[in-house]
Structure 1
Amino acid sequence: MPWWSWIVIWIALVALSLLFFVVLGVRLFRQFMTTVKELGEAADRFSRLPPAAENPAPADPGAPAIPGPGSAVFAPPARIRHEYHAAKTARREARRVRRVQRKTDRGQLQRLHDIEFS
């Protein structure tokens, strides 16, 4: 094999590797631009508040006040703990009532734990 064939082979290898890197770079750039576009759309979508939060309806005087976001940070820990335990107990009782009703509808036996509190 003549000496100049090695030069042609190496030039071809370098050209192919450069072409490969250019194609990878273009593909990576397109994926990056698509990601940036989707992130921009997501930021626009999530930066706006929902319509209900922008124009709050007048509150009922008899309805309990719903605390605003971040109000628990400045509230006394004892009150927050009490609210947490009260809500937990209410959720537990609601699950028990649904379970008793479901078993009654199916004609199944009730658990003693469920009917002791009824």
Structure 2
Amino acid sequence: MPWWSWLLIWSALTLGLLALLVWSGVRLYRKSLGALRGFEALGDQIAALNVDVSPRPEQFRPAVFTDLAALRHEVEQREAERVHRRQVRRDGRIVRGKLMRNARYVTR
């Protein structure tokens, strides 16, 4: 093969590679712009909710100087809330189970 055919082949391969890189870069740029638009829309939705998304740490209160009865009452209250949440979840599971057991299968 003459030397100019090798030059032609490698030039075509190099131009093809460059075209592929440019095309991939344009696609990546467009996708990143789309993702940014999505994040902006999400930020607008969060702002519309008017909700503070930053967690507020509880203020530190040393237990040494607190009344024992108040601490005991707080622990009992938390335990009662926990038991209530567990009961609500259990009731929901029971309802879902009854719905699944009594469901009628519809064939199309």
TM-score over 0.5 for the pair: yes
Paired with 2:5 and 2:88, the residues of 1 have a C-alpha distance of 84
Q: Which amino acid aligns with 1:43?
A: G
**TM-score with structure 2 length normalisation?**
0.58
Structure 1 runs of 4+ aligned residues shifted over 6 Å read none
1:10 aligns with 2:10: yes
RMSD of aligned alpha carbons: 3.2
Alignment of 1:4-83 (within 5 A): 4-50=4-50, 70=56, 73-74=58-59, 78=71, 81-83=75-77
Q: Percent identity among equivalent residues?
A: 31
TM-score (norm: length of structure 1): 0.54
Q: Which runs of 5+ in 1 are unaligned?
A: 54-68, 103-118
Instruction: Give the C-alpha shift of residue 74 in structure 1.
Output: 2.3
Aligned residues: 81
Cα distance in 2 for partners of 1:10, 1:81 equals: 77
Structure 2 distance, partners of 1:95, 1:15, is: 63
1:89 aligns with 2:83: yes
Secondary structure (helix, strand or coil) at the match of 2:58 reads helix
Compared with structure 1, are the counterparts of its residues 23 and 49 closer, same or farther at alpha carbon in structure 2 (3 Å cutoff)? same
Structure 1 residues 94 and 33: alpha-carbon distance in aligned structure 2, compared to 1, 3 A threshold: closer
Gap runs ≥5 in structure 2: 64-70, 96-108
